[in-house]
A and B are shown apart, each in its own frame.
Chain A
Amino acid sequence: MDRKTILNQTHRDMGARMVPFGGWDMPVHYGSQIEEHHAVRRDAGMFDVCHMTVVDLHGAGVRDFLGRLLANDVAKLKVAGKALYSCMLNPDGGVIDDLIVYFLRDDWFRMVVNAATTEKDLAWIAQQAGDFDVRVEARHDLGMIAVQGPNARAKAAALLPDGLRDAAMALKPFSAAHDGAWFVGRTGYTGEDGFEIIVPKDQTVALWNGLAGAGVQPCGLGARDTLRLEAGMNLYGADMDEAQSPLASGLAWTVALEPGTRDFIGRSALEKQVTAGNLPTFGGLVLQGRGVLRSHQKLFDGDREVGEITSGGFSPTLERSIAMARIEPGAGSALEVDIRGRRLPVARVKLPFARNGKVVVELDGI
């Protein structure tokens, strides 16, 4: 039996089609995934992300602990409220999960982790925390709604508590403010401006309904996936997992190898990969012609198989089929994809495909 978020009945009342996702019963769309996608690029949409888990870490040793636990370096977080995206690696350099960590106080950091990985994440964190002065608390008493799009912050403002509104509206990207149990981060997973709002669980439905009343479009997991794909943002379990290093997943920018004295879990494995070289490249593809790119489709350079699509789909903003793919370092620029036994040409492009309402790849000639 899939678990239900506090918004489950609200989704059903709004006409959502529900699907199983990571052990949860979640809305995939409320009628048209493409319209929901456009609402976020052009105006404002909202997502139930209550299935993700807020993990608070308290204690005098929390900064040292996160320096050991995460591949990105929390020492970059110097101002309270600042956020950092990071992978949490196993000793082989594989990705246990990707997450956002917020620095709130010297003895309090907050992470938001994926739904399907929550249990293994918590077990891993508890196992590694042994030698540190740190207390780990999964906040199952909280709900979370992402409000995304060019008009998202303006539409959400009136729904925020009086004590938090001014601070929230003054936030710079990738930082957060909080007041009591309410917490607002200017973060997201769509390539648009917006907030991720954490609220007491029993106030989640009221916030959702308030946002709907303010003209924010409810959006399902379908639009969430096409938005993040266009934004070139990795999806855990598709674009990287425990068998793949961040260096082979387009996430080298999130790995802080400097300073060399910081001994984070997975460091020695990543250093060996760097020394060995020959790492696959990770990038974008645009299908030339008709069809839909999907995960696990194989890529060819002539007769030679040179890679695989890690996630793909139809891009409503580009009105083209796009994908992210892991490709051998020696592969050429003109590749073909195998779709049901047919070979179709794909163009390699730099990620992302779209950001802030606009196409950012050059489509002329593709």
Chain B
Amino acid sequence: MSNDVPTELKYTKSHEWIRVEEDGLATIGITDHAQELLGDLVFVELPEVGAELGAGAECAVVESVKAASDVYSPLSGEVIEVNETLAEAPETINEDAYQAGWIFRLRLSDPAELDALMDADSYAEHAESEEH
């Protein structure tokens, strides 16, 4: 699975991915590795639009048939948009974690925080090390 980590994204140790879009907003989801660990997703509790999040704050919950797992905001900022389709179809994350399965978009209050995130290689290594 480590082969499938998109190189254009940034990552956290807690298995979120971050895509900085052309408009400067950051799109955030959980990685394919994370969804695979969780199994079939059956519920996503989304953040509220307008919420101000600090880096590392609990902001969403993804629940699979197995367990509930917190999603942490990798960066500080304001929630601009959430993926409402996940309310009806949480399995979208299982099917397409990096595109259709995005969870929320953030207007960053401190873009310098991006430098602290992992690149694809570091994340792949991290995910691999947790497997064993």
A residues with CB within 8 A of B: 17, 28-29, 32-34, 222, 226, 290-292, 294, 313-314, 316, 321, 340
**How far apart are the CA atoms of A347 and B64 in the complex, in Å?**
22
- With known contacts A32-B40, A290-B87, A313–B65 Cβ distance under 8 A: yes
A-facing mask of B19-43, CB < 8 A → 1, else 0? Answer: 0000000000000000010011011
Given A290-B87, A291-B43: A340 and B61 interface contact (C-beta under 8 Å): yes
Please tell me if the beta carbons of A291 and B45 are within 8 angstroms of each other in the complex: yes
Beta-carbon contacts under 8 Å, B34-67 to A: 36, 39-40, 42-43, 45, 61, 63, 65-66
CB of B36 to closest CB in A, whole Å: 8
* CB <8 Å contact, A292 and B39: no
Cβ–Cβ < 8 Å partners of A32 in chain B: 39-40
B100 within 8 Å of A (CB atoms)? no
What are 12 A-B pairs at a CB distance below 8 A? A17-B39, A28-B39, A33-B39, A33-B66, A34-B40, A222-B39, A222-B65, A226-B65, A291-B45, A292-B42, A314-B42, A321-B43
- Asked if residues A314 and B43 are in contact (CB atoms below 8 Å), the reply is yes
The reply on B68 being an interface residue by CB < 8 A is yes
Residues of A within 8 A of B39 (CB): 17, 28-29, 32-33, 222
Q: Is the CB of B87 within 8 A of A314?
A: no
Instruction: Give, as a whole number of angstroms, the nearest-CB distance from A17 to chain B.
Output: 8
Q: Within the complex, what minimum Cβ distance (angstroms) separates B95 from chain A?
A: 11
Give the interface centre of B40, B42, B65 by most chain A CB atoms within 10 Å: B65
Chain B proximity of A288: nearest CB distance (Å): 14
Distance between Cα atoms of A224 and B17 in the complex (Å): 32
- B37 vs chain A, min Cβ distance (A): 8
Q: Given contacts A28-B39, A32-B40, A34-B40, are A294 and B65 in contact (CB under 8 A)? A: no
